[in-house]
A and B are shown apart, each in its own frame.
Chain A
Amino acid sequence: MDTEPHPPPTRRCDGVSRRDFLHLGALAPLGLSLAGALRLRAQSAPNTARAQACILIWLDGGPSHLDTFDLKPDAPSEVRSPFKDIATSIPGLRICEHLPRTAPLMRHVALIRSVTHELGNHDTGTRFLLTGHRPTPALDYPSLGSVVARLRTSDSPMPPYIAIPNDAVGGDSNAARSGYLPGAYSAFSIGKDPSKVQDLHPPPGITFERNEHRRLMLAKMDRFSREVEEGPATRNRDAFYEQAYRLIGSAEAKNAFALGQESGAVRERYGSSRIGSGCLLARRLVEAGSRFVTVVDSGWDTHQQIARELPDSRFPGSGKLPSLDRAYSALIDDLRQRGLLDSTLVVLMGEFGRTPKLNALGGRDHWPRAGFACLAGGGVQGGRVIGATNPFGEFPVDRPVTPPDLAFTLLQLLGIDPSRELTTPDGRPMKLLSEGSFIHEVA
C-alpha cells in the first residue's frame, strides 16, 4: 500500500509549504528553481515500464463500431454499414473502407472489439471510460490522465497532462478532470487552435527580466496578504502559478508547442484537420516530456446520416473518418519512425458504440453494450484482434472487456500499479481501481 499523508491545510498539496515556495522563489536567481527543488523531492523508484507516455485519441460522442472497426457485411441491411470493408495487414481482419491508411498499420495495433458496459449517457459513459470507475455522486474520481500526472512524475518542465483542445468531454462532464486529486493534476487545455497555443510568451514590450521581476513582486504580495484562508481553491491556484512559471521559464518546453517548426510535408501527412494538427502536436508534447496527452475529436454522436456525415459526401476524402484515418496513421508511423512507438502508448476510443440497427434517419443511437478500442505502442503487441461481437454487433460473444479492464491495462502499461492507493482530500485511502484486470492478450 502506498499512502500519502494528506497535507494539513497549511501545507501545499505537494508537501511544500507556501513559505517554502516563496523562499525558493527568492532563491531562483541563485540557480535553484522551484522546479528543481520539487524534482529533488520527487525521487521515486525508476520506472521500468516501456510506456513512458500515453496519447489518447478520444472520439467524443461515441464512435460507431459497426462503421469503423467492426463491420458486419453479412448482416441484414438494417444493421449493415453503408460502407464496404477492406483488407488490412492482418489476414482475415477487415475494417472500414474509409480507413485505407490505417489498414496496413493494423499489424501494430491491438484491436479490442468487445468493449462493453451499460452506461448509455454521454456523461456517465465518458466518466466510466476515462476514470475506470462507475460514476457515483459520492466521490469524483480522477481521470486516468490526472492519475498518470500524479504518479508518473518527471523532471520535465512540460505540463504532465495536456488536453487538445480542452478537457470538456462527454457533454462537459468532469470525466477528464482531476476528481478528488488536487486541481493541479487537471489537464492543460491548450485552446481551440493547436497551431496557436496562446499566452506562452511575454506580451510585446515585456522583457523576460521584467516578467521575472513581476513574478517576485507577486510572490511577495501574496505573502503579505493574510485575508484569504488556505483551502483547496487557493492551493490549486498556487499550483497553477507554479506550473505556469515552470513552463514560461523553459524555452525548450515552449518550443514543443510550436507546430510551425514542423515541415510542410509532415503537416500534410497528418492532415490539416483539427485532429490532424492535434495528433501532431501530441507527438511533439510527448517527445518533450508530457506524460498524457488527450486529443479530443468531437462530432461522433452520429444520430443521423452516417453515410453522409462520417465521410463528408460533398467533399470526397474529407469528413470524420478520412481525417481520423490520416491523423491516426500518420501518428503511428511517425512515432515508429522516430523510435518512439515503443515508449508511447496510443489509445483510440470513445464512450460507447452505437445501435446495431440504423435508425429512421440513417444514424445510430447510443449503444454501450458493444464498442471498440485500439491500442498501439508502449509495449502492446500489434496484429491482434481481441474479443468479438455477435453477428449483429449487439454484444460481445467472447472476451468482454469492461472500462475498468481498459483503465487497468492502460495504467499497468504505463508502469502504475492499479491496486495502489491515493488519498482523498478528507484523508480517505482510495484504490486507483476497484475492479478490472489486465487484458493479457495485448502484451
Chain B
Amino acid sequence: MPPAVFLQNPIRASRRHSHQPTPFSTRQHPRGLFSLSLRERVGVRAARSTPRSSVHGPNTCPIFWKTIPSPLLALLLGALSLPALAEPPPFATGILPILTKAGCNTGGCHGAATGQGGFRLSLLGYDPDEDYLRITREHAGRRIDPDRPEESLFLRKPARQLDHEGGRRLPADSEEYRIVRDWIARGAPRGPADLRVEAIEVQPNDLLLPGKGQTAPLRVTARLSNGQVQDVTRLALYTSNDDAVADVSKQGVITSAGPGLTSIMIRYSGQVSAARIAIPYSGPRPTRFLGSDHFIDTHIGAELQRLHLEPSAPSSTATFLRRVSLDLIGRLPSPDEVRAFQQAGDSPERRRQWIDALLERPEWADYWTLQLADLLLLGGKGSNDTAIRRYHAWLRDQVASHTPLNQLVRSLIIAQGNIREVGPANFLTLANDPRDLSEHVGRMFLGTRVACARCHTHPSDRWTQEDYHRFAAYFARVGRSGDVIQVRQRGEVDHPKTGQPMEPKPLGASRPQSANSADNEPAADRRLELADWLTSGENPLFARSLVNRVWKHCFGRGLVEPVDDLRPTNPATHPALLDALARDFAAHRFDLHHLLRTITTSETYQLGSTATPSNRLDDRLFSHAYVRELPAPVFLDAVVQVTGVPHRFEGQPEDLHAVQLVGPQVPSVSLDVLGRCQREGPCDTPGQGGGGLARTLHLIQGATLQDKLSGGIVDRLIATQASDAAIVAELYLSALTRPAEPEETTEWTSLLGTAADRRAAVQDLLWALLNSREFGFNH
C-alpha cells in the first residue's frame, strides 16, 4: 500500500485565510451561502410552496464572466480629472467606473458572489451603495485611511505595494491612482446619494470600415441623472461580438479584421450600448440588385450593396414550391400539385396565389400549432394527459381561427381555472415560482434572458435586480391548487436585498397610469396589466421577438441570434428591417398569416440556395438561401408522404401526422432518434437530442425507412406495371419535387431494366432517394 500523499497542509492553509468570514456570519458575508441566503431573503410570500426555488431559473444566462485581462490605463481621464479645488468626484460616477475598468469587480475577481480574498464588490459595479459601504466601512473602515491615503489597503493592494493575487491594477504613477488617492484624502465622500448614469451614447454607432487593418475610434458619452454629460470613452468597457470581423482595444479603438458584420458591446455604469461594424467583402460592388420594391428586399438589398455581396439567382420553380410548402405547412408538394403549377406557368403572381392557397390549408394550422407548442414547451414536463390534450386542442383552435398572436399570448398570461378544462391555464403550470414563470415569459414573448438579473444586474443588458423582481411580481398571486390555477388575494415577490415586497412593473417601461380599469376581471389580478403591456402594439420587444422567430423559421437564421437574446448589445444584422417587420406585424393585428405572406413573397426569401463566388462566405446577410436540415417531424411526415405508408404512433389514429402529435409524451423511437424537440427546455437551436451518427445509422438500417419500402408506392408502381422511366419520374417528382435530369433517368432506368428483382430495385431506388442529401435538406 503506498503511503498517503497529502499535497497540502490544511492547517497552514486555513490559517493563511483566517480572515475569511465563517459561513454563517451573514452580516459580514451575506452571500457566503449564495443560494441559501437568497432563498431565505427573497421569500416569495405566495401562499403556495416553492419546492425547488433554487437561484437558477429555467433560462440561460449569457454572462461575460471573463476576467478582464490585466489592464493598464496609460492615458489621462479627460473629463473626470477635475481641478484640485473642485468638488471631489462622487463615488458612483467618479470612482466606481475606475474599479470596473481596472477589472476589480469581474466575476473571476472581487465581483464573484463570494468575493475574493475576503473583499467583495458587486458584479461590474451594479450596486454602488453596497460597494461604497464595503470599501469605506467594512472591517471598521480599515481599507481606507484619509489621513495617509497612500497607506490605504484600497490603494496598496491594486498598486501591488502589497501582495495582490489580482496583480497590479492601479499603478501608483497612473492618473486613476491619483484620482482615487485624492478622493480618499478628501474623506472618501459618497457624493449625492441618487446620482447615477441614466444613459450612454456611442458615436459612431453604425460604421463601415473599407478593409482589413483599418482603425476607427469610438466615443462614448454618459448622461448623468443631474443632467451632466461626460465623455467616458476611456472608462467604458468594450467587447467585440465577433473579433474575426473587428477587434476593439480597451481605449475603444476598433480595428477591422475580416469581412462581415458584427457589433461592439459597450458597457458603462450599468448602462449598455452597441456599435455596428461592417467590413465589405473583397469582391466588386454587385451589379445585380434585388429588383422589387418589397420593403424586405429594400433593406436586404442595401446591405448586400454595402458589403459587396452579389445576390444569388432566384430559385427555380421546383425549389420554390418545395421550400415554401415545407416552411408554411411542413409538407412536400404532391406530384399532381407540382405538375399543375408547372403547366400554368411560373410568375410572381402565381407564386403569390400558391402561398395564399397554402396558408388556407388545414396543414398550415397543424404545422404552426407545432411551432407554437415547441415555443411554449407544451407538455414537456406535464404529467396530466387530459390537460395537455386540452391545451393542445385550444392552441390549434386559436391558430386555425387566426387569433391575433397578441390575443393568443394574452389568453395564456391571464388564464385561470381547471387545467383539464381551460387549455391556456396549462401555461401557468410551466413553473411554480413567479420568478421562473416570468423568466419563461421573458424568453418566449420578449426574446430576452432576464435570468441573470435575478441575482445581480444583467452584465450585458439593462435589467437590474429591481427590474427583474418587479417583473416577476406580476405572477406573485397566481396559485395552483391541484388542477386549478387561481388568483389569490395575497402573495408578493420580495427584493432579495431589502426584503421589501415589489410593486409590479413592466420590463423597460414605466407602469401604466390606469391599468385595466375598463376590464371586468377582478382588479386584484396583476396579470391583466402585464398582458396589456406585453401584447400592446407599442411594446417594442414583443413584436420584434415574434417576428424574429418567424424569420428564423423561414431563413434558417434570425435577424438576431440567438432568438431568445434580443438586447441592445446584441443588435440585429438588419436593425431597421427588424423594426419595420415588427411595426408591420403590429399594424396588421399580429396576424401570423400576414407576416408569413410578407416574408415568403419577398424576392429575398425566393432567392436560390446556390452561392455565387462573391457570396459563398456569407452566412448572415441573406445573399442566398441557406440550406437547412428538415426538422424531425417534417422529415418523418415527408417519408410517409413519399412512400404512401403511414407511420403508426402508439395509441394514436392511423393517419395522424407527426406534426399533429400533441407532444413528446407520445412515445416514438423514430422521432427521438431523428431529434425532435423534447420541450423540456428551449429548442431554439435545432438538432439537439438526436441527430448525428445515431440518426444516420437509423436512416441507413433502421425500421423507420425500411418498414415503408413495402406496400404504398412501391406496390402501386409494381402492380400498375409502370415503365422504368415512369417509375423514376414519379419517385423523383414525389421525393425531390423536380423531374429527374436526363443523366439520372438514364442511370436508374438502366438499373431497373437489368435488375433480377425489379421490386427490390424499386425499393433500393426509393431508399436511396430518402437517404439522399437533396431529400434531407430544405434548400
With A and B bound together, what is the CA distance between A31 and B706 in angstroms?
Answer: 28
Select from chain B the residue with minimum beta-carbon distance to A187. B692
B570 touches A137 (CB 8 A): yes
B-contacting 9-mer, from A188-196, A265-273, A330-338, A341-349: A188-196
Most buried by A among B52, B696, B771: B696
Other-chain residue from A92, A136, A217, A395 in contact with B765 (beta carbon distance below 8 A): A217
The answer to whether the Cβ of B616 comes within 8 Å of any Cβ in the partner chain is yes
Contact residues in B for A79 (Cβ distance below 8 Å) = 23
For window 338-389 of chain A, which residues contact chain B by CB distance below 8 Å?
A: 355-357, 359, 361, 365-367, 369, 382-388
A244 touches B693 (CB 8 A): yes
Q: What 1/0 mask marks residues of chain B from 674 to 698 whose CB sits below 8 Å from any chain A CB?
A: 0000101100010011101111111
In the complex, what's the smallest C-beta–C-beta distance from B621 to chain A, in angstroms?
14
How many residues on A have C-beta within 8 angstroms of the other chain's C-beta atoms? 99
A303 touches B54 (CB 8 A): yes
The answer to whether the Cβ of B626 comes within 8 Å of any Cβ in the partner chain is yes
A227 touches B774 (CB 8 A): yes
With A and B bound together, what is the CA distance between A122 and B769 in angstroms?
Answer: 41
In the complex, what's the smallest C-beta–C-beta distance from B113 to chain A, in angstroms?
7
Contact residues in A for B694 (Cβ distance below 8 Å) = 188-191, 198-199
In the complex, what's the smallest C-beta–C-beta distance from A250 to chain B, in angstroms?
13
In the complex, what's the smallest C-beta–C-beta distance from A2 to chain B, in angstroms?
19
In the complex, what's the smallest C-beta–C-beta distance from A201 to chain B, in angstroms?
7
For window 182-228 of chain A, which residues contact chain B by CB distance below 8 Å?
A: 183, 186-191, 198-203, 206, 210-211, 213-214, 217-218, 220-222, 224-228
Most buried by A among B52, B114, B688, B773: B773
The answer to whether the Cβ of A134 comes within 8 Å of any Cβ in the partner chain is yes
A211 touches B701 (CB 8 A): yes
List 7 extra interface pairs beyond A387-B7, A394-B33, CB under 8 A: A91-B4, A124-B63, A137-B241, A214-B764, A365-B36, A398-B13, A424-B244
Other-chain residue from B20, B32, B51, B701 in contact with A199 (beta carbon distance below 8 A): B701
For window 1-60 of chain B, which residues contact chain A by CB distance below 8 Å?
A: 1-10, 13-14, 16-17, 20, 22-24, 32-36, 39, 51-52, 54-56, 60
For window 37-72 of chain A, which residues contact chain B by CB distance below 8 Å?
A: none
Contact residues in B for A172 (Cβ distance below 8 Å) = 678, 680-681, 688-689
For window 149-178 of chain A, which residues contact chain B by CB distance below 8 Å?
A: 159, 166, 168, 171-174
Q: List 8 A-B contacts (CB under 8 A).
A: A118-B65, A119-B65, A124-B60, A136-B62, A137-B570, A217-B764, A248-B700, A426-B244
What total of A-B pairs shows CB separation below 8 Å?
263
A398 touches B697 (CB 8 A): no
The answer to whether the Cβ of A22 comes within 8 Å of any Cβ in the partner chain is no
A-contacting 9-mer, from B227-235, B283-291, B739-747: B739-747
Query: Are A228 and B768 CB-contacts (below 8 A) given A120-B34, A124-B63, A248-B701?
Result: no
Contact residues in A for B24 (Cβ distance below 8 Å) = 357
Other-chain residue from A123, A159, A203, A388 in contact with B8 (beta carbon distance below 8 A): A388
A234 touches B56 (CB 8 A): no
With A and B bound together, what is the CA distance between A200 and B52 in angstroms?
Answer: 41
Other-chain residue from B6, B32, B689, B769 in contact with A221 (beta carbon distance below 8 A): B769
Q: What 1/0 mask marks residues of chain A from 399 to 421 whose CB sits below 8 Å from any chain B CB?
A: 10000000000000000000000
Query: Are A243 and B611 CB-contacts (below 8 A) given A218-B772, A366-B55?
Result: no
A237 touches B773 (CB 8 A): yes
Other-chain residue from B33, B610, B706, B751 in contact with A356 (beta carbon distance below 8 A): B33
Query: Are A365 and B7 CB-contacts (below 8 A) given A200-B701, A217-B764?
Result: no
B13 touches A388 (CB 8 A): yes
Query: Are A217 and B768 CB-contacts (below 8 A) given A121-B61, A229-B610, A398-B8?
Result: yes
Query: Are A426 and B627 CB-contacts (below 8 A) given A187-B692, A218-B768, A441-B7?
Result: no
Most buried by B among A137, A190, A210, A226: A137
Contact residues in B for A189 (Cβ distance below 8 Å) = 690, 692-694
The answer to whether the Cβ of A11 comes within 8 Å of any Cβ in the partner chain is no
How many residues on B have C-beta within 8 angstroms of the other chain's C-beta atoms? 103
Other-chain residue from A135, A359, A385, A394 in contact with B5 (beta carbon distance below 8 A): A385
* Residues of B that sit less than 8 Å from A by CB: 1-10, 13-14, 16-17, 20, 22-24, 32-36, 39, 51-52, 54-56, 60-66, 107-108, 112-114, 240-244, 258, 260, 319, 562, 565, 570, 609-611, 616-617, 624, 626-629, 669, 673, 678, 680-681, 685, 688-690, 692-698, 700-703, 706, 736, 738, 741, 743-744, 747, 751, 760, 764-765, 767-769, 771-774, 776-777, 779
Query: Are A397 and B764 CB-contacts (below 8 A) given A189-B690, A198-B697, A222-B773?
Result: no
The answer to whether the Cβ of A288 comes within 8 Å of any Cβ in the partner chain is no
In the complex, what's the smallest C-beta–C-beta distance from A119 to chain B, in angstroms?
7
A214 touches B55 (CB 8 A): no
In the complex, what's the smallest C-beta–C-beta distance from B137 to chain A, in angstroms?
24
A359 touches B10 (CB 8 A): no
In the complex, what's the smallest C-beta–C-beta distance from A166 to chain B, in angstroms?
7
Contact residues in B for A317 (Cβ distance below 8 Å) = none
Select from chain B the residue with minimum beta-carbon distance to A191. B694
A385 touches B113 (CB 8 A): no
The answer to whether the Cβ of A83 comes within 8 Å of any Cβ in the partner chain is no
Contact residues in A for B4 (Cβ distance below 8 Å) = 90-93, 383, 385
The answer to whether the Cβ of A89 comes within 8 Å of any Cβ in the partner chain is yes
The answer to whether the Cβ of A107 comes within 8 Å of any Cβ in the partner chain is yes
Contact residues in B for A217 (Cβ distance below 8 Å) = 751, 764-765, 767-768
The answer to whether the Cβ of A21 comes within 8 Å of any Cβ in the partner chain is no
In the complex, what's the smallest C-beta–C-beta distance from B240 to chain A, in angstroms?
8
In the complex, what's the smallest C-beta–C-beta distance from B128 to chain A, in angstroms?
22
Other-chain residue from A89, A118, A218, A388 in contact with B108 (beta carbon distance below 8 A): A118
